[in-house]
Amino acid sequence: MDFRRFHSRLRASVAVLLVAIGTQASAQGVTRVQQSDGSVRFYNDVRMSLNGETLWITAADRKGALEIVTGACSFSGELQRCHPSAVTLHQHGRTHAIAVDRGTVYFNLTADSQPLRHSSQRLAPKNVLVSFHTVRGTYVSVQGALDEVKR
């Protein structure tokens, strides 16, 4: 399979996963995907869980999941700020690595709302904010409550 065909299928797989996440999940998260052509899609009710250093964004039927492994973490006040060191799509028994150009993941694991540094925005208690840009030009952001935290 050539390089272009692989990435085309990968983008299609991410789109299918996000549709599945947005249609049947139980959490109160929102995912926004902006393709390199400028088209934007929103997916509501994303289920999110944190297991160690790995954030899972999972469809309610558990047939698809986006795995974000974080690293290079630091604290900004009470907020934990990390970089997505690896992003993988799990669907239909297959895994596809997603090449990330840059990104940030904020975790507020406290019981209080916390300010985001250099912003007027605050992150609610037990919430996560994800933002990453792929090498193919897709911009993905996720924000919402964590359904489960296992440290």
* Residue range of the domain that includes 46: 3-150
Could you read off the pLDDT of 15-52 as tens digits, one per residue?
A: 434 443 333 334 577 778 799 999 997 777 779 999 99
Q: Mean pLDDT in the chain? A: 82
pLDDT for res 117: 87
Given pLDDT bands bounded at 50, 70 and 90, which one contains residue 146? very high
Tokens matching residue 129: 């904010």
Which candidate, 11, 33, 5, places its Cα nearest to that of 98?
Answer: 11
Q: How many domains, in total, are found in the chain?
A: 1
Q: Which long-range contacts (CB under 8 A, 24 or more apart) does 48-54 make?
A: 48/128, 48/142, 48/144, 48/145, 48/146, 48/147, 49/146, 49/147, 49/148, 49/149, 49/150, 50/107, 50/128, 50/146, 50/148, 50/149, 50/150, 50/151, 51/148, 51/150, 52/150, 52/151, 53/82
